[in-house]
Structure 1
């Protein structure tokens, strides 16, 4: 399998996280967003939407959209509940992530990290939606180790990527203790290095 992606993108990191967790062999091809690399004829032949991530299977078939890729790679694994209702609750979080979390948390981060903007001049409407999304996650994790059931699912992986990077976009996770605990739990579960103290990230973001 080959993964086409940008390691600065949370959507692409999701795919790397699940492939690594399941020991799926892959080759990685860097396709950096914002450079025109997703608009070449060669890339558009893989994904006419011109977006990363994309996976190309050994038989030549391709699949795009990060959460669809998560669902495909994690099929028949411990990351998808066998209980039908819990699997539906997992999907509920996947849909929410793409509609109410990624479009604001990721966009606010991109403004700072990729577009050279400042925290102060982020779009207030996007910031408000992002803060609300992070608060919702924090509340949902109160008294829970993971979002669905008692074990990690791809719902956690889908939401971990951009939540973990959110301090780079100016979001203060120090006021969200459940999120910090969950991030640390997910990092341990996936064998990821600790991203760093949230306070330090916040100071760097404002620096």
Structure 2
């Protein structure tokens, strides 16, 4: 299996983390999105949307979209709850991450880290929505260890990728004690070095 991705991308890291956690054999093929390497004709044959990550399986089939990839790779593992409703709650978080979290937290980070914007240059609506996403997570995590109860799941993998780096997008996590505790627990579950929050 080949994983095409950029290690600066949280969406790509999700796939790497799941492969590593489940000891799945893979080759990492670096794609520098800032240099336009996901827009070459060769890459577009793998994913016509020109986005990373993409997984190419040994039989030539490809799969894109980080949450679809991790959902597929983790089938039958402890990263997906065996209870059908708990698995659906995990999926609920996966969809929410891409619609209500990543477009704000990750975009603000990208604009500051890669485009050199300052926090005051960011779109105030994106900042407001980013804080709303963090507040929702803080509220949920005040009463449970992980996003789907007391078990680490793909929901945590998906939300960890950009939440642990939210400070790089100008988001102050000082007032989010439950969220900071969860980041620490999730990083430990994935054997990651701690992010400097």
How many angstroms apart in 2 are the aligned matches of 1:97 and 1:85? 18
Q: Give, in angstroms, the shift of residue 58 of structure 1.
A: 1.1
The aligned counterpart of 1:25 is 25
Q: Give, in angstroms, the shift of residue 25 of structure 1.
A: 1.0
How many angstroms apart in 2 are the aligned matches of 1:18 and 1:40? 27
Q: Are 1:165 and 2:165 an aligned pair?
A: yes
Q: Are 1:91 and 2:91 an aligned pair?
A: yes
Over aligned residues, Cα RMSD in angstroms? Answer: 0.7
Gap regions ≥5 residues in structure 2? none
The aligned counterpart of 2:150 is 150
**CA offset digits 1:38-92 (Å, max 9, x no partner):** 1101000000000000011111111000000010010000000111100110010
The aligned counterpart of 2:60 is 60
The aligned counterpart of 2:15 is 15
How many angstroms apart in 2 are the aligned matches of 1:50 and 1:125? 27
TM-score, normalised via structure 2 length: 0.98
The aligned counterpart of 1:205 is none
The aligned counterpart of 1:202 is none
**CA offset digits 1:118-146 (Å, max 9, x no partner):** 11111101111001101111111012110
How many angstroms apart in 2 are the aligned matches of 1:165 and 1:31? 21
How many angstroms apart in 2 are the aligned matches of 1:158 and 1:32? 21
**Count of residue correspondences:** 197
Gap regions ≥5 residues in structure 1? 199-207
TM-score, normalised via structure 1 length: 0.93
Q: Give, in angstroms, the shift of residue 34 of structure 1.
A: 2.8
How many angstroms apart in 2 are the aligned matches of 1:130 and 1:79? 26
Q: What secondary structure, in the 3-state scheme, does the structure 2 residue paired with 1:23 have?
A: coil
Q: Give, in angstroms, the shift of residue 189 of structure 1.
A: 0.8
Q: Greater shift after overlay, 33-42 or 99-108?
A: 33-42
